[in-house]
Structure 1
Amino acid sequence: MPTSESGTTPPNSDQPKGGVREVKSAARTVEILEFLAARQNRPVRLRELSEALGVPRSSLHALLRTLAQHGWVRSDATGTLHGIGIRALLAGTSYLDTDPYLPLVTPMLDGLREQLDETFHFGRVDGKDVVYLATRESSQYLRPYSRVGRRLPAYSTSLGKAILAGLPADERDSHLPPTLEPLTPHTLTERAALDADLEATRQRGYAVDNEENTVGLRCFAVALQYDDEPATDAISASIPLARLSPERDAEIVAALRQAGDRITRLAGPVRNSLTWG
């Protein structure tokens, strides 16, 4: 950290991270938006937000007012309840609109749903989570909300495990939290058990989530290998246990593998035309 001529740290200096100085107000703004987005449709009071982020209420109040003025945060008439604003939706939609692989994947998801009438997902690893970029719901079970944009721990989902299984050990560590918290009684919370499961995933070529993220659901996933780099994307199927059998399991996995292989072939020209990764 830089110091003044007297040898003391100047006030309001930001800790450099990786050679780049972090701007505190910008970092707090991102933390606010991510916290509000994770709450979905549950508004938060200033005091609760302050306690959750460890930021003084006076600092948060000014940031929230600025974000609300620009549409990134919405507040109630009294100014005491806050939630994510419409600008966040517009930014997220722009990301989806410009993603080069989404137009290749979504027709495959449509075909899988038509063929098998189950729920299929397209996800991408982001830090320690998987973010859902597209979902096609089974006609047999419709959720009251969209999964697009939702984040879930990579270690507890078939999407995440399909991606983690292809990473070198040192890269895998950066996508796992220090403690593997249980989302259900079936979540793998011991690192040795997770590593063994990821090795099994690597060997068989697909991942399985046995009620590790949602009780009553088994999920299968295959990674999408666009190039020689480790995969960052995957497609998956989520099926209630009551509709599964060994024969159905095999049918689902075969369909996912076929779709994954086709996406990989189609993605070659797209990847070669990209100006950035």
Structure 2
Amino acid sequence: MSADGAGGGAQVKSAVRTVELLEFFAGRPGMHSLAAVQEAVGYPKSSLYMLLRTLVELGWVETDATGTRYGIGVRALLVGTSYVDGDEVVAAARPALDRLSDDTAETVHLARLDGTDVVHLATRPSQHHLRPFTRVGRRLPAHSTALGKALLSTHDDEQVRSLLPGTLPALTEHTITDREQLIEELHRIRDQGFAVDREENTLGLRCFGTAVPYRTPARDAVSCSVPVARLTPAHEQTVKDALLDARDRLILATRRL
């Protein structure tokens, strides 16, 4: 291999390590010691220290007052915000999300499938005091959410099998943990046009979601979350009707994207 080729390989390795390190901090809020980071990522301690110091100088990583513990920096927030601010789907979806929020008075999400997870791109909080925690950038397992199941239903069975492991992690006692059982539910979701999270992600919370098929398979979905204590049959029907109306509005809004 030539020197240029070796150098190129070294640069790619450094870039991969940088991204993996930032993803480590993004997935583990708070501050972490060098030893804890090294144990998690497995890089040589000396090169890890130099990489961390570089990222601190550039603002991607921050340290505590002692300079010995590390966490995600403000630059990561700026980049994440710019992704959402510049996304055409998020911009096009705003009127439909506002309408869905007004029609249901419940918490509304727009999310995107990312591997085996869904990531919240936009939210509208419930107008009630009792409401679920929500924030842009929150990442949840697709198999345990209405958003994720709605999106997975736009893939065929073999695609789902290749994407998900045979045994899925349980977030609550209601989470579907068997891939084949999940695939059976995805068939029902395709028929009815929406998915339901029956306290599979958070106890006491039911969520209804539907994919926005401006591309196939879909990558974005919209949902409405309702505490079980507030979910009467009449309110459930209102939520379902409003959700499907929002989907139709989103299809029109994203038609030219």
TM-score by length of 1: 0.85
The alignment's C-alpha RMSD in Å is 2.3
**Higher fraction of helix:** 2
Q: Which amino acid aligns with 1:29?
A: T
Judging changes above 3 Å, is the alpha-carbon distance between structure 1 residues 253 and 216 closer, same or farther for their aligned structure 2 residues? same
CA distance in 1, matches of 2:17, 2:125: 36
Q: Does 1:164 align with 2:146?
A: no
Q: Deviations over 1:31-87 (max 9, x none)?
A: 1111111123x2111111111222232222111111111111111122211111111
Matching of residues 125-140 of structure 1 within 5 Å: 125-140=113-128
CA distance in 2, matches of 1:93, 1:45: 27
Alignment-derived partner of residue 22 in structure 2: 33
Alignment-derived partner of residue 244 in structure 2: 257
Q: Deviations over 1:104-137 (max 9, x none)?
A: 2122222221222100000000111111001100
Alignment-derived partner of residue 184 in structure 1: 172
| Bigger relative contact order, structure 1 or 2 (CA pairs below 8 A, ≥6 apart) | 2
Q: Does 1:75 align with 2:66?
A: no
Q: Deviations over 1:137-158 (max 9, x none)?
A: 0121477975201111111111
| 2:125/2:134 contact within 8 Å kept | no
Alignment-derived partner of residue 120 in structure 1: 108
Judging changes above 3 Å, is the alpha-carbon distance between structure 1 residues 145 and 204 closer, same or farther for their aligned structure 2 residues? closer
Deviates more, 1:169-178 or 1:56-65: 169-178
| 1:154/1:175 contact within 8 Å kept | no
Q: Deviations over 1:224-252 (max 9, x none)?
A: 0114x211000001110001122222211
Alignment-derived partner of residue 247 in structure 1: 234
Q: Which amino acid aligns with 2:90?
A: L
| 2:160/2:183 contact within 8 Å kept | no
Q: Deviations over 1:192-251 (max 9, x none)?
A: 211111111111110111111111100000100114x21100000111000112222221
Deviates more, 1:129-138 or 1:42-51: 42-51
Matched pairs, number: 255
Three-state SS of the structure 2 residue aligned to 1:134 is strand
Q: Could you tell me how far 1:25 is from its partner in structure 2?
A: 1.6
| 1:127/1:174 contact within 8 Å kept | no
CA distance in 1, matches of 2:169, 2:124: 28
| 2:56/2:63 contact within 8 Å kept | yes
Q: Does 1:267 align with 2:254?
A: yes
CA distance in 1, matches of 2:38, 2:62: 17
TM-score by length of 2: 0.91
Q: Which amino acid aligns with 2:127?
A: S
| 1:129/1:175 contact within 8 Å kept | no
Q: Does 1:222 align with 2:210?
A: yes
Alignment-derived partner of residue 222 in structure 2: 235
Alignment-derived partner of residue 24 in structure 1: 13
| 1:183/1:214 contact within 8 Å kept | yes
Instruction: Note the residue ranges of structure 1 that are not aligned, 5 or more in a row.
Output: 5-9, 15-20, 272-277
CA distance in 1, matches of 2:135, 2:188: 28
Q: Which amino acid aligns with 1:235?
A: V
| 2:31/2:70 contact within 8 Å kept | yes
Deviates more, 1:103-112 or 1:230-239: 103-112
